[in-house]
Structure 1
Amino acid sequence: MRCKLIARIRPGVYLLAVNETPHSLAAFRKDGLAAAIALLVIACRNPTFAQSVEDPAKEAKDEGLPAENSCRIPGVTYPIGITYEELVAGLDADALVLIDVRDPLELRETGKLPKSHNVPLPEFETAFQLSPEEFTEKYGFPKPTPQDENVVLSCQSGCRIVTAWEAIQPFGYCRVRLYYGSFLDWESRHGPLIKENKEELFLRSMRSRWKLVGHKWLPPSSSGKTELAAVLVVLAGAGVSFSMTIRDGARGDLASEDGESFKNASCRIPGITYPIGIEFEELAEGLLNDSVVLIDVRNRWELEETGKLPKSQNVPLPEFETAFNLSPEEFLKKYGFIKPEPEDENVVLTCRSGRRILLAWDAIEPLGYCKVRLYFGSYLDWKARSAPLIPVPGSLEP
């Protein structure tokens, strides 16, 4: 194995090349500047990572940390690894707490390791600064203590767990162990994987992105729009049919619960479930008789690669909210079709898999566009049914 230093990113963090292949943000000890070395996971997934601390108190001082954070034991190599066999035995005996730092959508797609819990990497450092009660409430299992020696981290290939370990070791979590092989090793050994059902996914999404106030789940921000959209994306990706019924549209119950008054909250009709979906058969018929305005929210380059649905228009998601705030004349000039009115009931949104249309709907619903319908199957469902696709200039496939 040949390692070469390419660049210094920040104190103690460097970009390395392993066998001529760059590995970004690989932190390693150099002149005492870094307290931890990032694991370099190469194709064969044989990590060669080790750091032995001779003087933990001095190491902490070198990094600007208080001496009490020097939880490492002299002569011990950190982070401490765990093998597949040890992990299996520990899980079978309920002697380990296994934390997967992958994104919830990854777990949905691949399945999760048995008895594992999920704390996504972007939330990791913040999570371990929560109180035990807040941690349990949000993630559904007791918060580990720095003294615990039975905590194991896992991810996809062994890279992200090093970042996670680095994030919490200053808090005293030196004893947390890393399953370097992670999901890829587990899968290659035909270890069992658990597929979450829709209810479990919903609850974990709520715990991860919302907060519990009393006995009621509420978004953490005042308006909750972003968090609501994020939860809807996760649910849609899992095939969960999203529904929300407004008890009194004129009162705008949802808006008042979020602590914000939307001027168009009353566009919803009491007893109607929102967003309103549309099936393939109904959409195809509507396109044939020109009774539907179909808007694709994907990026232009995606349409060029795959082709577009017949008679569809394109308003990319990043421009969506701004587009529907344009005047009718500006909208027509920029997008080449007549701007829909909030009262229109023939507008349908599509994307690639049904996730982005939820974000698009969430962006324009406060403007009064409650009646816009969503083709939840979107491009993937359309293609799976061998329905026609129209080439877009630059298309790679019709």
Structure 2
Amino acid sequence: MSKRVLLHRFRSWLGVTLELSITHHHRSLATLHRALLHRVQCLQTYVVSCNSVRCLIDTSYFEKIKEPPRHWTEISSAQLISGIGTKDLQLFDTRTEKEVNETGLIPGATNIPLSKLAHALELPADNFQSEYGLRKPVGMDRNLIVYGCDHRNMAEAVSILHTAGLFFGRCYPGGWTEYQRIKEIDDLSTLQPWTDISYETLMSMIASKDIQLFDVRSLAEVERTGLMPLSTHIPRNRSSVSFSLVEVAEAFALPPSDFQRKYGVALPAKEDTNIVLHCLVGIRSLGALSLLWDAGFRSSRHFPGGWMEYSARTSC
């Protein structure tokens, strides 16, 4: 079997590979393979067949825990505070230099603006050390964390890390804003970023019909699996995973009458607090959340477990 055929099959597997990188493609089959292995770390089994690459979800994993796991590319506030205390983090602030000068940094962080992050990670190790005063991260580092002002642009930042070969790179989606809120709290064990909703909250909102739920997966994915109850699919004119967010940005910029005619539901008001986005496993919905925030929908949230967690837990 040729490398090109294998590459196509890995990339078509439930859209998982492109979930890892919204705007960047991985550079080799080996990279894709490693990325796929990381994506299924919370699954207990997977198989590779001659016709497709598919995942067999063992739902017993979810039965053993009270709350679903965070998306593996994110760390919680409790993990951040713990890492700061033990000084066991490589923490990079991706805000602009002006923002950092006005507010300061999370303890132990180094400022590398998002616009410079990709270039910085391409520097030789000696140049990186000279420029930023610390060791350049390497591929197997498991303590590499990026953050910004809030969750916006974090999907892009994580994508840059993964494209640079830093496959264990993660983000703190709450960013500086969340850190300011929680830094004096003693017990962070139950704290959840307000932009995330749990499976239980999602199901409660669906049951009460108090939700405006938008599926931002590709058309091909939705045709394979169907939709969650009360969900509206946005990228219905594009089959490609990599371009599914384009229509999300376009959709929420439409006049209300055009939005209603195209999607069959009313355009949410910018002040609505029940707007929820989801995708397959939380990367694209995080990117879509950033787009909605930029468009003024500042109370919108997302379900980071996505279709994968929903289908696993509702089939129990």
Tell me the TM-score range normalised by the shorter chain: 0.3 to 0.5
The structure with more radius of gyration: 1
More strand by share: 1
The TM-score with structure 1 as length reference comes to 0.38
Higher relative contact order (CA 8 A, sep 6+): 2
